[in-house]
Structure 1
Amino acid sequence: MMENANHWQTVNHRLMARTLAECAYEGIISPRRVYGDQYELDTGQHRYRFRARRTPWDFLWIRPHPILRDGYPVSDAIQLVLDCREALAMSDITLGNFIEELNNTLAGDLLRQQNLANQTASQLLDLPPARLEALLDGHPKVLANRGRLGWGMDDLHRYSPEAGQPVVPRWLAAHRATGLRVFGQPTPEQCLTASERQELAPWLDSGDWQLVPVHPWQWQHHIQPQYAAMLQAGNLVDLGSRGSRYLPQQSIRTLSNVDEPTACDLKLSLTILNTSCYRGIPPEPMALAPALSRWLSATASTDPFLSATGLTVQQELGGVHLPQPHQQQVDGTPYRYREMLGAVWRESLASKPAAGEQGWIFAVLMQTDAAGTPLVAEIIRRSGWSVEDWLTRLFDRVTLPLYHLLCCYGIGLVAHGQNLGVIFRHFRPERVVLKDFHGDLRLVEGDLPGRAGVPESLTLALPRLPPAHLLHDLYTGHLVTGLRFLSPLLEDHLGYPERDFYRLLHDRLQQYQREHPQLATRFAQFDLLSPAMARVCLNRVRFRIGYGDDASRPTPTLGPDLPNPLHPRNHHTMEICHE
């Protein structure tokens, strides 16, 4: 019981630190520096005191020490939110729902903390990547990053990544006359044993039927009641649970094959509200995904820079979507009802490393063990390289290829810690791996994408946005959501100052620009080195829009401008903040 109580205090303290840090970063609250590394937040009724340092991102990196409320140590994350309710400016209805999300987050993090206990950074890196992914923190920017509205405790212990329990999909046979849409080349046979393929041959070999995998939770809670008419009519047939076992990835609805790790991943609709939206699968991105990933993969092999840096794509092999026929007749129906039954087959990250290589999602580099030791520190130690040499390779093989896609092709994609993979050779960054970008990939306005070789079918179908919007797909998606949390770990644990981290990245970007003078106008168009950048906020959105239904997914909002750590003018400011 004492150990459980300690874990409960730990997860509450972590959520309190994230709440203070992210709400301050988004400009919602304003803690003030009292002296040294002591900061104080006056909520009106209570005063919170904590230790932190301000990073180059105008972000408070909170030290792992007790947080005081009116002078007394406290570990109650939800009380902190209640104390800050005036600044958060949520309605009582929104606040009540948000408290439910926070309690769910604490419950999931408690389970994760119990599984993480007593495992060192070195031991964690020796786990199979799918097992390690189950122990990661989740989106670091989102306060309720395990909110999962719709799940109870049984669901948490059965289907969450942190539970580490294999899931066996339910399989349906859908007749083409149901309105089923098929994209690319779905490969259900990859997910079944030889005997099951033989048993299901009449369905697999028929041109009139398509096998559709369904998450068992989705089957129980949504498919059986909402698709009952089809099931009763016999044009949607339940084939039962069968095939390979899968572990949920951090995104929950995407599953890794346990029995054959190099086989394809499955992404399945899951109508729960988590982080920012319901986790169904919309059909529109699926329609483009196979052709888009084929083109990007081919481009990566023929473009001289991308080929040299080894950019790799986890291709979308195919997908299926079956609309609910009555909901399809309601133009403004909540978007979750349009995304209830869909599946995607995608190449796995485990299929990409060669012999002697390791493949992890980028979020592994932002993770610590239970004692607070970063996994990235152990990776660098095993590489045998200096921090600066290792970071130089990381920037050259991960950040610069993303920048090249933007400047050379006018492509913006949101590459955060969970949909960006990194292949290491002897623990040294070797190449970046892109996945699950199809719903967020956009093209810049104008004729650049077409002139750069993006096929006309894609230039006509993909969203077109001004350069500033696409710049933030890279800046906010990769730098703010990834590097912002990596650089302080290297300073705290390896003594590599954050100011040197961003000076080095600045130098690598300038070196790239010198080597590609033909893109000079694009560098000005996508100005990654400007003195200030827009500050894109996620938590503000939830506080503002609440939890009501909508016909479309929510979009981020903006906070105060952000001093860009990549601009030389801000390097002096970094040194002052560091002191």
Structure 2
Amino acid sequence: MNLVPLDLDRDLDLLHSWVTHPRSHYWGLQGADRARVRDEYQKIADNPHHHAWLGLDDDGTPLFLAETYEPAHSELASVYDVRPGDLGMHVLVAPPASSSSSKRSGLTSAVFRAVMDFCFADSRIDRVVVEPDVRNEAIARKNAEAGFVEERHVQLHDKVARLSFCTRVAYEMSVPHLNPSTIELAHRRLIAKALGEFAHERLIAPVFLGGDRFSFSAWTFRAKRLPMEHWIVDPSSLEGPLDALDFISGLRETLGIPQQLLGTYLEEISATLAGTAWKLTHRRETASDLVHADFQTIEAAMTEGHPGFVANNGRIGFGLKDHSSFAPEAGAPVRLRWVAVLKSDSIFVLSSPEREFYEAELGTELLERFERRLSSLGLDPAEYRYLPVHPWQWEHKLTVTFAPEIARRAIVPLDESTDRYRAQQSIRTFFNADRPDRHYVKTAIAVQNMGFLRGLSPKYMQATPPINEWVADVVNNDEELRACRFEVLRELAAIGYTGDAYHRVGTPSVYTKMLAALWRESPVPRLAENERLATMASLVHRDRDGNALVTALIRESGVSPSAWLATYFRAYLRPIVHCLLQHDLAFMPHGENLILVLENHVPTRVFMKDIGEEVAVMNDRPLPGEVERIRMITTVELKELALFTDVFDGFLRHLAGILDADGVLPWSEFWQLAGDCVEEHAKDHPAIAGRLDLFRPSFAHSCLNRLQLRNTLQMVDLTDQESSLIYAGELENPISR
């Protein structure tokens, strides 16, 4: 949100409609005509100690009116001892223009914080003063939420007012999202999800009570149980203790959580609750809004995280300010930090010359400034290369953990990026907001999230660009994949620092994954004029009011649900099946790893990303030496799980459940269409159709939460993922004929 000076010539009609609205009766201008409103605000414009501001949404839509004034030059000077650094404030949120606009959850809180941020942006301000009418209970609650303390009631010329103060520190310490009603909703949602997913993984067995009622331990609830043991638990129906941490700790033995890791898992649960509460408070986009939203608005609006994992939003290490600055849902612009590292103490894998690459990503002006910075320290720029660093990583890890390396000038701090970036759902990956044609940047960050510390290993990444080039060649040279317009976003360059003591020890650890980065292609230059982007995770997104984005997309598209889904399956499912059957090539094609290309709200093609860490070749075909790492010789049954577990159970199960619950498309019809897609591919490619039995009656039930519950610090060994898997019997194959 942005505040600009009120312009009476431009804004009078809007201003008049706001201040005379029945909901604005405390503003004191009920029944005023335009002349009187202009007169009142002309007085403010003529007063050097009083200012009026128009508040705009990010898209420029007027949202609120704010006033700031100096109490020493106001009526308040006679009722309290004004301090230097005091600033008075009034705020009026625009009355709803329609019934739909009145449903914007959290708007008033967001506006209030935008005004408070604006007030405290002036470093001279130590305290904000407000004096609302004592009858205005709603604003009193908003004031208390932001950190205001009521001092006393005072008589002003037109009202009895609550004289209230908020210091800078009190405002910084306020946590409006952590309140009883919001955290209760977060508990409800998390316990409901835990009941559904733990039942799906056969960790618990709810008891059928009749109708749609079930019970488990101390909880009763309504739920819809679909095939594949997919549970849709209604959070509002939960009856029982609403404490997700007690729910988990009480089931420690049932869930198989090691005693020594229970605290860590509970911290991830608590952080997930906090993240949910933050998003419920601050994210205001409805499903209808997101139908027409741009790529990064959709990316930031995702509220759920991974649809299968219960503790999916841990981010252990982030503080409150870090969350507001770097979490994808905050949507805040981020400037990356850059350091120079000695070429002799680092690796850089890139197909093109280094300097050409840096000029394209940084621009010549910033690159030359970096070189002058090195020269000013008496260092030779030719001996260094440049590495982007997450601001959190620089502040919390590198300046301490790598202090000797910085002191000996093996690592040299330079400056922040000129371009602004936006954090993606994976936390450590950034989209260039100023130059969308430039590459994504993926950075190391020592934050624990969903079973892993999110570092990057320089040694491991040496093979990443060659692997990406090899996979891209396979995809680009396959006629079927070209027909589906299936593409991969290559990770083209990787850099990592290796000159520290942690690497010299020779033992891989979290410390050998703290200073590295890679660059991935942006999809933006590949778009046609009528195309737009959305993360595939958005297809399982529900807004605060429970409305699904996929349902809104289908309705807005104007095509039938079955036609919409068939087009999506051809873009997503058919290429995955083809890669598996033709090339024994498996990806990790969950929601966050796919970017949809939408035409008229229909997904017509996809981009696959995160290739280096997620791809596997499951045969003995000849591979280049640097690509050999991705070979995984395995059984036919495990090859099939690349479709059954990663696609059917890991993502499409959740999408099918949403469409069924919303009455858009029954579960059986969803999977009939999925089966038709696989069958059509078999008819078109009879020579490879029989290599795997994709229509078998059931498949091994590989469980995700069981992995995290067993070891929340590292769910799987990335060098031997197959041996890390945990099974719980079999699941029925939803496309079995």
Change (3 A) 1:544 1:296: closer
Aligned: 1:480 with 2:661: no
Q: Identify the match of residue 290 of structure 2 among 124, 146, 160.
A: 124
What 5-or-longer segments of structure 1 have no aligned partner?
A: 569-579
Deviation at 1:15, TM superposition (A): 0.6
Deviation at 1:210, TM superposition (A): 0.9
Structure 2 match to 1:465:
633
Q: Secondary structure at the match of 2:239?
A: strand
Equivalences for residues 528-539 of structure 1 within 5 A: 528-539=694-705
Q: Secondary structure at the match of 2:532?
A: strand
Change (3 A) 1:472 1:229: same
Deviation at 1:332, TM superposition (A): 4.0
Q: Secondary structure at the match of 1:415?
A: coil
What 5-or-longer segments of structure 2 have no aligned partner?
A: 1-140, 143-176
Aligned: 1:15 with 2:190: yes
Aligned: 1:391 with 2:559: no
Q: Secondary structure at the match of 1:430?
A: strand
Deviation at 1:206, TM superposition (A): 5.3
Q: Secondary structure at the match of 1:539?
A: helix
Structure 2 match to 1:55:
226
Change (3 A) 1:223 1:469: farther
Equivalences for residues 193-204 of structure 1 within 5 A: 195-201=365-371
* Aligned-partner residue type, residue 554 of structure 2: I
Q: Secondary structure at the match of 2:606?
A: strand
Structure 2 match to 1:220:
395
Q: Please give the per-residue CA displacement for 1:54-94, whole angstroms capped at 9, x wherever unaligned.
A: 1222121112422111xxxx432222213323312324332
- Is the 1:214–1:269 Cα contact (8 Å) retained in structure 2? yes
Deviation at 1:240, TM superposition (A): 2.2
Q: Identify the match of residue 143 of structure 1 among 300, 310, 313.
A: 310
Deviation at 1:357, TM superposition (A): 0.6
Structure 1 match to 2:265:
98
Change (3 A) 1:147 1:258: same
Q: Identify the match of residue 29 of structure 1 among 204, 207, 212.
A: 204
Deviation at 1:299, TM superposition (A): 3.4
Deviation at 1:362, TM superposition (A): 0.7
Q: Identify the match of residue 68 of structure 1 among 239, 258, 267.
A: 239
Deviation at 1:267, TM superposition (A): 0.2
Deviation at 1:242, TM superposition (A): 2.7
Structure 1 match to 2:450:
275
* Aligned-partner residue type, residue 482 of structure 1: F
**TM-score, normalisation: structure 1:** 0.89
Q: Counterparts of 2:434 and 2:224 in 1: how far apart (Å)? A: 45
Q: Counterparts of 1:298 and 1:395 in 2: how far apart (Å)? A: 23
Aligned: 1:495 with 2:495: no
Q: Please give the per-residue CA displacement for 1:303-359, whole angstroms capped at 9, x wherever unaligned.
A: 21111110111111211011253222334443x122111111111233332111111
My pick for the range that moved more, 294-303 or 28-37, is 294-303
- Is the 1:443–1:459 Cα contact (8 Å) retained in structure 2? no
Change (3 A) 1:548 1:396: closer
Q: Counterparts of 1:272 and 1:6 in 2: how far apart (Å)? A: 29
Q: Counterparts of 1:167 and 1:488 in 2: how far apart (Å)? A: 36
Q: Secondary structure at the match of 1:139?
A: coil
- Is the 1:290–1:316 Cα contact (8 Å) retained in structure 2? yes
Q: Identify the match of residue 673 of structure 2 among 496, 499, 504.
A: 504
Change (3 A) 1:265 1:547: closer
How many residue pairs get aligned? The number is 549
Q: Identify the match of residue 513 of structure 2 among 332, 336, 339.
A: 339
* Aligned-partner residue type, residue 131 of structure 1: T
Structure 2 match to 1:404:
578
- Is the 2:271–2:315 Cα contact (8 Å) retained in structure 1? yes
Change (3 A) 1:399 1:230: same
Deviation at 1:30, TM superposition (A): 0.9
* Aligned-partner residue type, residue 569 of structure 2: F
Equivalences for residues 118-517 of structure 1 within 5 A: 119-136=285-302, 137-185=304-352, 187-192=357-362, 195-201=365-371, 207-323=382-498, 325-334=500-509, 336-447=510-621, 450=622, 455-457=623-625, 460-466=628-634, 467-517=636-686
Change (3 A) 1:29 1:550: closer
Q: Secondary structure at the match of 1:438?
A: helix
Structure 1 match to 2:100:
none
* Aligned-partner residue type, residue 539 of structure 2: L
Structure 2 match to 1:577:
none
Q: Counterparts of 1:144 and 1:188 in 2: how far apart (Å)? A: 38
Q: Counterparts of 1:275 and 1:29 in 2: how far apart (Å)? A: 21
Structure 1 match to 2:68:
none
Q: Secondary structure at the match of 2:647?
A: helix
Q: Please give the per-residue CA displacement for 1:69-125, whole angstroms capped at 9, x wherever unaligned.
A: 1xxxx43222221332331232433222221111111111111111234x3212123
Structure 1 match to 2:214:
39
Aligned: 1:111 with 2:287: no
* Aligned-partner residue type, residue 192 of structure 1: L
Change (3 A) 1:541 1:98: same
Q: Secondary structure at the match of 2:468?
A: helix
Change (3 A) 1:319 1:374: same
Deviation at 1:157, TM superposition (A): 1.9
Deviation at 1:294, TM superposition (A): 2.8
Bigger relative CO (Cα 8 Å, ≥ 6 apart): 1
Q: Counterparts of 1:193 and 1:167 in 2: how far apart (Å)? A: 18
Deviation at 1:390, TM superposition (A): 0.8
Q: Counterparts of 1:546 and 1:308 in 2: how far apart (Å)? A: 41
Q: Counterparts of 1:285 and 1:391 in 2: how far apart (Å)? A: 38
Q: Secondary structure at the match of 1:162?
A: helix
Q: Counterparts of 1:563 and 1:68 in 2: how far apart (Å)? A: 31
Kindly, what percent of the aligned residue pairs are identical? Answer: 29
Change (3 A) 1:390 1:284: farther
* Aligned-partner residue type, residue 510 of structure 1: E
**TM-score, normalisation: structure 2:** 0.71
Deviation at 1:377, TM superposition (A): 1.3
- Is the 1:414–1:474 Cα contact (8 Å) retained in structure 2? no
RMSD between superposed Cα atoms in Å: 2.4
* Aligned-partner residue type, residue 538 of structure 1: L
Structure showing greater Rg: 2
Change (3 A) 1:122 1:212: same
Q: Secondary structure at the match of 2:463?
A: helix
- Is the 1:541–1:556 Cα contact (8 Å) retained in structure 2? yes
- Is the 1:191–1:244 Cα contact (8 Å) retained in structure 2? no
Q: Counterparts of 2:263 and 2:628 in 1: how far apart (Å)? A: 43
Q: Secondary structure at the match of 2:592?
A: coil
Change (3 A) 1:108 1:491: same
Q: Counterparts of 1:100 and 1:353 in 2: how far apart (Å)? A: 41
Q: Counterparts of 2:423 and 2:712 in 1: how far apart (Å)? A: 28
- Is the 1:367–1:376 Cα contact (8 Å) retained in structure 2? yes
Q: Counterparts of 2:718 and 2:594 in 1: how far apart (Å)? A: 25
Structure 2 match to 1:571:
none
Q: Please give the per-residue CA displacement for 1:157-204, whole angstroms capped at 9, x wherever unaligned.
A: 221112222211111111112143434456343443553233235679
Deviation at 1:499, TM superposition (A): 0.9
Q: Please give the per-residue CA displacement for 1:394-446, whole angstroms capped at 9, x wherever unaligned.
A: 11111110111111011111111001111111222211111112112111133
